[in-house]
Structure 1
Amino acid sequence: MRMINSRVLAMLALVVFSVFALVGCGSGQQNPPAAQQTQPIEINVSAAVSLKDALAEIQNNYQAKNPNIKLVYNLGASGSLQKQIEQGAPADIFISAAPKQMDELEAKNLMNKATRKNLVENKLVVVVPKETKLNITKLEDLVQGSVQKIALGETATVPAGQYAQQVLQKLGLWDKVKEKVVFAKDVRTVLAYTETGNVEAGIVYQTDATSSDKVKIAAVAPEGSHQPIVYPAAITTGTKQQKASEDFLAYLFSAESKAVFEKYGFVMGK
């Protein structure tokens, strides 16, 4: 009798242990580790480098309110970013400094056309080193012999360079200054060349010029001398974070973001 009881107790103990083990396994599947639960959602934003300062402030504001979101910026020339997206680089949102790059990505069904809106607008200006002795007050002054080097963005990939070429051609100056042109990989590099005095003048966005205390604006491109400078923004068709991307894109058009963009000299898009 005692032997039977011992066997029964042993079997009961085994059953109880098995039940607890199964419950433990089941709860493990239903409740992943805390680190896994709190891992933030990453949104990859490919954006024109001229937006750098404004986007950095917007990033801080947005992540402070949304700790579950991590914004990862890829900043550069719009044409280079376009090529990266075409080659499969991770991107949830694209903000171009010109419609051309967005149009070409749309044509390849790489952008969600329904989400596209013009985010901000900008102006094009000639900048010179702060301490320059040259008398440059209009674009026509760039033909002077004392102006030996003029920095522009690469016209194949940098919208600011494309706008600059349009202006110079419109004013009949391109053939007179093209031998002086030093091309740069993006508009911030044009600014750097001018800040350091490696060139006598550079053509950049007004917002880039106002971000630096080492240059001054010598001239503004006349109205109608180039295509309107607009920055379209849209969500890519390849995004894996559709809802999170939609929320951040909406935030870019909010009153809070508008105040940041205007602080850095941008005008909100129409």
Structure 2
Amino acid sequence: MKQRYFVYGLIGTLILMGLISGCASNNPAANSTKPVELNVSAALGLKEALFDIQKQYEAIHPDVKIVYNLGAAGNLQTQIEQGAPADIFISAAQQQLDNLQKKNLIKPDSRINLVGNQLVLVVPNDSRLGLTDFKDLAQDSVKKFGLGAPETVPAGQYGVEVLKAVGVWDKVKDKAVLGKDVRTLVAYAETGNVDASIVFSTVAATSSKVKVAAAAPPGTHQAIVFPGAVLAGTKHAQEAEQFLHYLAGPEAMKIFQKYGFIPLTNKQ
């Protein structure tokens, strides 16, 4: 009898487990899949705006998780060329996207100009050098200034253009302390390691320890554009295109503008 009761009990337990399993299979929560993870390589200068947009986007698209890889645009380009995972690339200049397009690493039809920016000269808040123009970097009182490495940092590329346009590049190039990205350049100025740094205005605005001494004169550099595109090798083309479209839309633009960016949503 004991053996019979044991068998009956075992059968009952198995039936109960089957019922529980069946209920779980009919429960949407139990069957929910993990959100699609979008890897977005983006210029470091967009950091604050992109994180705000991420919160906003994920709130209305819980099926998508945005993962950012932020850095100097040139370095990000190299990472993508070497096979780093990325679904979207947002640069701080056209050159990096041009290079990737030549290698068929982006989807040309997805390419879009998102926002613009302004190039400025920043100095420590307590600076007494009286700098008011990019030309002033040629003064003997200026010993060192921060400049993004032109090969990898778009702000550095634009900076060289300005200094050449105003006629002082040959006089000041030996004073340049090259930085790996715009945040580093601001830090150089904050700590007084340089007398001034050339950065984007939106990045300058994130620091309370520096002030803008001058803005680049109109026509002295190529238009500053932050373009984006979907990578050719993405496994989530639909979700990537949807997010890039959102970045170019009115809700995201409100956030970009809050941080000082200029809306530029013209397709290439």
Q: Does 1:75 align with 2:73?
A: no
CA shift digits 1:189-247 (9 cap, x unpaired)? 11111111111100000111112111110001111101110111110000011111111
- The yes-or-no answer on 1:136 pairing with 2:131 is yes
1:179 equivalent among 163, 174, 178: 174
Question: Could you say what secondary structure the match of 1:237 adopts?
Answer: coil
Give the C-alpha shift of residue 121 in structure 1: 0.5
Residues 99 and 72 of structure 1: is their aligned pair in 2 closer, same or farther, counting only changes over 3 Å? same
Identity of aligned residues (%): 54
One of 153, 156, 172 as aligned partner of 2:148: 153
| Match in the other structure for 1:103 | 98
Moved over 2 A (4+): 30-38
- Change in Cα spacing, 1:109 to 1:143, as seen in structure 2 (3 Å) is same
Quote the offset at 1:31 in angstroms: 7.5
Equivalent residue number for residue 213 of structure 2 = 218
In the alignment, what sits opposite 1:52? 47
Pairwise CA RMSD: 2.4
**1:118 to 2:94 alignment:** no
1:203 pairs with 2:198: yes
Where does residue 91 of structure 1 map in the other structure?
86
1:1-30: CA deviations, max 9, x gaps? xxxxxxxxxxxxxxx9xxx8xx99x979x8
CA distance in 2, matches of 1:182, 1:36: 55
Task: Pick closer, same or farther for the CA change 1:31–1:234 going to 2, 3 Å.
Answer: farther
TM, length-normalised to structure 2: 0.88
In 1, the alpha carbon distance for the partners of 2:226 and 2:168 equals 27
* 1:231 matched to 2:256: no
Unpaired runs of 5+ residues, structure 2, are 1-10
Aligned residue pairs: how many? 253
Q: Distance in 1 between matches of 2:177 and 2:57?
A: 38
Return the alpha-carbon distance in structure 2 between the equivalents of residues 111 and 32 of structure 1.
40
Question: Gaps (5+ residues) in structure 1?
Answer: 1-15
Shift of 1:69: 1.2
- When normalised by structure 1's length, the TM-score is 0.87
* Residue deviations 1:90-129 (CA, integer Å, cap 9, x gap): 0000001000000010010000000001000011000001
Return the match for 1:251 from 241, 246, 253: 246
- In the alignment, structure 1 residue 194 sits paired with structure 2 residue 222: no
| Structure with max Cα Rg | 1
